[in-house]
Amino acid sequence: MSSTKGDSISISDELQKWVLEILDLGFGCFCDGDYQPFIFLVNEDGEKDMIDVVDVDGNILPSLVEEARKIVAGACSFAKIYVIVSAGYLHKDGIKYDAVVAEAGEKGESKALVFAQRYIENNEIESFEKIGRPGIVNTVENLLNYDA
């Protein structure tokens, strides 16, 4: 997990550890039918927080991911790492796959990384299976990229 489209991307061991753990958590939640996006935060002291991002009526809307981004950008200056997890899709080789999507950023970095873990439903055993390993699918503005 070190580059995308020719650009060198630096990922700390700590960020990589949390992204992999939180992608697994998202996979478990989504497989259990809970598709609400959530925010995972780690502060400078190593304390961790999770924030569920919900609609007042319980609807799962694409706009909730943008609301999560606003929460992190506006109210999480204490965080040194953030991960926003949502259900999404990933196209590969012309096939549309369900995916757990995680935007992850670390204070001091200019860019955040968007990871995706593809999965499929296995109807034979009535469960979900991951396809391959998580991968970096995009870079975005780091929401923690500001002067503390």
Q: What are the angstrom distances between the C-alpha of 133 and each of 29, 72, 100?
A: 18, 27, 12
Partner residues linked to 135 by β-bridges: 116
The predicted-structure confidence for 90-135, as pLDDT tens digits, reads as follows 988 999 999 999 999 999 898 999 999 999 887 777 778 999 999 9
In our burial notation (b when 16+ CB lie closer than 10 A, e otherwise), range 68-92 reads: bbebbbeebeebbbbbbbbbbebee
Q: What is the pLDDT of residues 11-44, one digit of tens each?
A: 899 999 999 999 999 999 988 888 889 999 999 9
First to last CA, the chain: 28
Closest CA to 115 of 6, 31, 15, 46: 15
Neighbouring-strand partners of residue 105: 82
How confident is the model over 50-95, as pLDDT tens digits?
Answer: 999 988 887 777 789 999 999 999 888 889 999 999 999 998 899 9
pTM for this one? Answer: 0.86
